[in-house]
Structure 1
Amino acid sequence: MSAITSDAEPGLRERKKAATRQALHEAAVRLLMEHGPEKLTVEAIADEAGVSRRTFSNYFANKDEALFHGEVTRMRQLAAMLRSRPAEEAPWAALCAAAEDFCRQVGELDPEWFARSRMIRAHPSLLAAQIQTFAAMERELSAEVAARLGPSETSPVRARLMSATFLVVLRVSLTIWLEHPADVHYWDLARESLAEAGRGFA
């Protein structure tokens, strides 16, 4: 009986840690939307989530990490979908297919997400932090792309360039779509943009 309890404990600990991390992220988002970026501090996020400043530091290095935790999670889901694509699929085609699978899984974006995205784009410091977050995730995608390019591609430039282009296309498509969301579905715009950008990677 004790062995069963011991085996179950790590899973429970991980779930509790994930729940605390998510609670801190949601607290950061609430504070941003209710009070603006000026009031978004580590102390305020910890208080909103009902944890200590020290507990916050166990999960995130700063307020931006807490705020953009959702973006990191989504990008890791996208990277996992890329890994699951058939091995023989060309890198750019695999990236586009993974993005389409991801958009299909996410479904319709909720109004709160719209409002948050617009607020981030209205504040240069938040936008810079978001871009930095995507730059970090670019390296993870690059590793997956490099594996698909194979050992004959000795330079890391092509994999990095392809991953960076892919993320920029998604981000620019989102920016354009947020300006006119009623005119076209996001994925229709992103698909067209990816096809255009991918001509150089065919």
Structure 2
Amino acid sequence: MEDEDGGRAMGLRERKKLETRDALSAAAIGLIVERGWSAVTIEDIAAAANVSVRTFRNYFSGKAEAVAARHVDRMRRVADGLRARPADEPLWDAIGAAVQEQFGSPPDRRPPDPDGADGADAEGLRRRADGVRLLLGEPALAGEMAKAHAAAEAELAAAIAERTGTDTARDLYPGLTAAVLGAAVGAAIVHALRGDRGAPVGPVLREALDRLTAGLPTP
């Protein structure tokens, strides 16, 4: 019982750490989208997440890493979702389902806005799309986002290798598939942000994955 309780306690601690990391990353993105990059401090982010600056430093080295962590964590959940799909499900069907769990919603439900929050009105959606565009173009984020993309692709490649019986060190397939998937996600986000008010990324990403599953035929 003691070992079991200890294991359960460790699980709860790990979950709390993940929740704190997620709250800090979400606070960083929300504040920067609202106020602009230079107007947000680490102190602001910590306060918004109801933690101390010291706690922030335990998780991230700065604002850029906090923002980029959102992408890595989401793609890690995609990889975990892929591992959980039925073994006999076709690979791209499994990938599509795992991605939609994180970025989209079922066809019979209203899809989320560009950063995953439901219920925004037209003006709010437009402002948020404008903010996300500025965030993605922020030079101070470039280095951390490059690292985030690399880490995300490594997570996806490992999950794809497990599912297909390939090896990330020996075989091209898992890394290539992960890179294609990462490119599809990025292209869908950029496409969804085009126009005056932006659009939900879920349906765009669903279309991108459908096209990949079909072999990316010429329109």
Change (3 A) 1:114 1:159: same
CA distance in 2, matches of 1:14, 1:68: 20
1:17 aligns with 2:17: yes
Query: TM-score w.r.t. structure 2 length?
Result: 0.69
CA distance in 2, matches of 1:152, 1:26: 34
Of all paired residues, the percent bearing the same amino acid is 33
Match of 2:88 in 1: 88
List gaps (5 residues or longer) in structure 2: 118-124
Which of 170, 179, 182 matches 2:194?
179
CA RMSD of aligned residues (A): 3.7
Give, as a single letter, the amino acid of the residue that structure 1 aligns with 2:33. M
Change (3 A) 1:41 1:143: same
Shift of 1:20: 3.3
Which of 132, 143, 155 matches 2:158?
143
| Counterpart secondary structure, 2:89 | coil
CA distance in 1, matches of 2:202, 2:26: 26
**Residue pair 1:90, 1:148 contacting (<8 A) in 2 also:** no
CA distance in 1, matches of 2:180, 2:55: 37
CA distance in 2, matches of 1:50, 1:185: 29
Of 135-144 and 62-71, deviating more is 62-71
List gaps (5 residues or longer) in structure 1: none
| Counterpart secondary structure, 1:87 | coil
Change (3 A) 1:162 1:175: same
| Counterpart secondary structure, 1:89 | coil
**Residue pair 1:92, 1:162 contacting (<8 A) in 2 also:** no
Shift of 1:36: 1.7
CA distance in 2, matches of 1:164, 1:19: 28
CA distance in 2, matches of 1:153, 1:122: 31
1:129 aligns with 2:147: no
CA distance in 1, matches of 2:95, 2:142: 24
**Residue pair 1:24, 1:46 contacting (<8 A) in 2 also:** yes
Change (3 A) 1:146 1:20: closer
**Residue pair 2:157, 2:175 contacting (<8 A) in 1 also:** yes
Of 89-98 and 111-120, deviating more is 111-120
Match of 1:71 in 2: 71
Change (3 A) 1:12 1:156: same
Give, as a single letter, the amino acid of the residue that structure 1 aligns with 2:188. S
Give, as a single letter, the amino acid of the residue that structure 2 aligns with 1:177. A
**Residue pair 2:82, 2:95 contacting (<8 A) in 1 also:** yes
Query: TM-score w.r.t. structure 1 length?
Result: 0.74
